[in-house]
Amino acid sequence: MTRIAAVHGVLPPHRHPQRALTDMVARHCLPAGADRRVLDRLHRGARVGARHTVLPLDRYGELDGFGAANDAFIAGAVELGAEAVTGALREAGLSPRDVDLLIFTSVTGIATPSVDARLVGRLGLRPDVRRLPVFGLGCAAGAAGIARLHDYLLGRPDDVAVLLSVELCSLTFQRAGTSPAQMVATALFGDGAAAVVACGARRGAPAGGPTVVAGRSRLYPDTERLLGWDIGGSGFRVVLDPAVPEVVRKNLGDEVDGLLADHGLHRRDVTAWVSHAGGPKVLDAVAEALDLPEDALAVSRRSLAQVGNLSSSSVLHVLRDTLATAPPPGTAGVLLAMGPGFCTELVLLRW
């Protein structure tokens, strides 16, 4: 089976308490003279204590359009991406030239050449490394990316594959963003990156990391407007329907039970739930859908409080923190994330 050899998360250097970010959003995103009471209430209710941003807060007022924000994305993504991949390979005891596949995912900026291409020479990856840039999976891409690493390594068991996620959500905050969805997004989302190194069955990897048993994907019909972007001259405007938690409540239990049943398992066999830290309402919906005990999502709730929702990087930070707690060897884990489509992505792990 595919073994996860290392997970390395990184954060930009600028860390701010939630109140400082609320004030920044009020200055740069609300119209002059606008009543900020709704913004204040939503930011207080997000259960986020602090977040990181790729730029100092006073730089956001200088971003005069999508082009400037996207240029900042490219520069920041290359820097954070290089740090994440370098750290993950170091922890796995591997060199850049060992990498056979690099998957890059983000939903907060675009680049051609893609960020992964810009990293090949900088990191010393081989010129023949296979690359797969992915855009559009949003928060689900961390889980989907691990599943795609596994799919690749099943066919190439001697190989090493790396997933890199970089999400710079602060660069998508919209000026004049007074819709409830915009204000919720500015309350929850932070900036960060993560890299996962996985080794095929014949490659060998450090002991201790989990193996990937299988993945499961589900796309729900007629849910395209629940979550995503509207893309216009000002860049990415968030689409975030309040019905998302209810869709999770109605569907997630059956999806998880189906994945577990395929491998002769039940929910009671799972010792680690590695959930994307989507927000307090989404985490509550996950807990209700799966009938989880109070502390089952503690790692995800702590990640949300400490760094906010990092989109596709979020579940990878939660996975890194879960690995530090050393779940019992031989037991099962479920990694899960939801994203635009509306979709769920599940990965069954064995510790």
Active site members: 139
Q: Using CA atoms in the order 60, 167, 11, 300, what is the torsion angle rounded to 10 degrees?
A: 120
The token pair that represents 309 in the structure block? 């929702």
Report whether 115 contacts 166 (CB < 8 A).
yes
The token pair that represents 126 in the structure block? 């081989």
d(CA 331, CA 210): 10
Helix pair angle (298-307, 314-324), 10° resolution? 120
Q: Using CA atoms in the order 186, 188, 191, 197, what is the torsion angle rounded to 10 degrees?
A: -150
d(CA 212, CA 222): 31
**Closest-CA residue to 244 (of 193, 188, 170):** 188
The token pair that represents 90 in the structure block? 């170091």
